[in-house]
Amino acid sequence: MKTKIVYSEKCLGYGTWHVEGPQRVKIATEILASKGYDFVSPTPATEDQVSLIHDMEYIWNLKKGLVEDSDTPAYDNIFDFACLSAGAAIAASKINGFSITRPPGHHVGKYGAALGVYTRGFCYLNNIAIAVKELGKKTLILDIDGHHGNGTQEIFLGDPNVTYLSIHQSPNFPGTGGTSEANCINFALQPNVGGKIYFETFDRAMSCVDPAKFEALAVSAGFDTHSCDLASLGLVTENYFEIGKRIAKLGLPAFFVLEGGYNGQNVGLDIDAFLRGYEENR
């Protein structure tokens, strides 16, 4: 059975000029619709759900539009857009689906910008963290976005219920993830390494975790590792089929949350390849 895509057109309603703009998701969903995927509409996360992860003062400031940095503007009603995106991640976690709603989330920590960086890197609420906390299961978070998920690491560092594993480009924003720390396992790769080195590293990363210790897999699914994207590891569409295949072999109930990936055409084709790899091998 095809994985359901969690999506609402409402998420297209902000930030037309930004690199994290509506087109990336609009074009990608059109491609997925043309390939026969079914779509499910999310409901927004409640303030109670958001506060499972984020500090109340940060939530209040976000609601009032008082939280702005050079990369992460305080758009009108951004709190509502962010709650819808967090709600989409929660919905994906309940139906083992793929949330393609924006804004992304893995750079934002409990209090906003994670320690040591000036920006939340296009993120307002940590969608995957909220979904994982709400699910309440022993979870492996696999972050395949090309940037290190510093917000997610900060949130779950030392949490006995969660292991965070990231494979990302370095040097690049946010500059963290050079080494592993406690339950946060990091693999940093040089730009444009290509599929061979990527998969050698991917397999090494997988050997660090015992799937039997987890009840769920949450994937921060970023596609900016695609060649020429913002954190290129030199991957091409067929490589995402292989990633999906390897993830399926973990044998865990999984859900997927879109992070980066800034070329809508590539994002749509890469998600399709990824989900085909996953579905044909689970």
Q: Which stretch binds Zn ion (CB under 5 A): 16-24, 35-43, 94-102, 146-154?
A: 146-154
Burial class (CB in 10 A: 0-12, 13-18, 19+), 141: buried
Give the whole-angstrom CA distance, residue 238 versus residue 261: 16
- Whichever of 49 and 101 has its CB closer to Zn ion, that residue is 101
Query: Binding to Zn ion (CB under 5 A): which residues in 164-193?
Result: none
Nearer to Zn ion, 87 or 146 (CB): 146
Specify the length of the chain in residues. Answer: 282
- Residue 223 vs 241, nearer CB to Zn ion: 223
Measured from each CB, the residue nearest to Zn ion is 260
Task: Number of residues interacting with Zn ion: please give it, by CB under 5 A.
Answer: 6
Active site residue 106: no
Single out the catalytic residue among 107, 147, 148, 226.
Answer: 107
Asked if 147 interacts with Zn ion (CB under 5 A), we say yes
Decide: residue 70, CB within 10 A, 0-12 exposed, 13-18 middle, 19+ buried.
Answer: exposed
Question: Nearest distance from residue 116's CB to Zn ion, in Å?
Answer: 17
CA angle at residue 276 from 235 to 145, to 5 degrees?
40
Residue 145 DSSP symbol: S
Give the CB-side neighbour count of residue 125, counting CA atoms within 13 A. 35
Q: Is 145 in the site for Zn ion (CB under 5 A)?
A: yes
> Hey, what are 110's tokens?
């409990």
Q: If DSSP codes are grouped into helix, strand and coil, which group holds residue 164?
A: strand
Q: Which is nearer to Zn ion, 71 or 134 (CB)?
A: 71
Q: d(Cα 11, Cα 105) in Å, to the nearest integer?
A: 14
- Given the rule CB under 5 A, which of 137-145, 155-163, 208-216, 247-255 is the region that contacts Zn ion? 137-145
Shortest gap between Cβ of 120 and Zn ion (angstroms)? 13
Of the candidate residues 222, 234, 244, 277, the single one contacting Zn ion (CB under 5 A)? 222
Q: Choose one: 42-50, 89-97, 210-218, 258-266; the region binding Zn ion (CB under 5 A).
A: 258-266
Measured from the CB atom, is 69 or 279 closer to Zn ion? 69
Measured CA to CA, the distance from residue 25 to residue 18 in angstroms comes to 13
- The stretch near Zn ion (CB under 5 A) out of 78-86, 144-152, 192-200, 248-256 is 144-152
For 16-143, list the strands marked E by DSSP: 39-40, 98-99, 108-109, 112-113, 139-143
Cis preceding-peptide flag for 104 (omega within 30 of 0): no
Which residues contact Zn ion (rule: CB under 5 A)? Answer: 145-147, 222, 224, 260
Indicate which residues carry an active-site annotation: 107
